[in-house]
Amino acid sequence: MGLFSSDTYYCTVCGGEAQSSNAEQCSQCGSVIHHRCLKNTGNAKKEGRFLRSDKVKLRCPDCGNVGSI
């Protein structure tokens, strides 16, 4: 997942305004998706079986690119 510039982005899933603090940008296709929308669409999954694991796998709903934060 890439870095944001200062422009305004719109979430691919819900169409709402997105900022770097509450969304991720796909490094492959540039789509921006809210963290909560990634969860709502099942595209954010914790890695491993342990709840304390804080590594989250993200999948872009547009191009299927997988990254982690």
Binding residues (CB under 5 A) for Zn ion: these are 11, 13-14, 26, 28-29, 31, 34, 37, 60, 62-63, 65
To Zn ion, the closest distance from the beta carbon of 17 in angstroms equals: 9
Separation of alpha carbons 51 and 60, rounded Å: 23
Q: Which is nearer to Zn ion, 7 or 51 (CB)?
A: 7
Count of C-beta atoms within a 10 Å radius of residue 67? 16
To Zn ion, the closest distance from the beta carbon of 37 in angstroms equals: 3
Q: Which is nearer to Zn ion, 17 or 47 (CB)?
A: 17
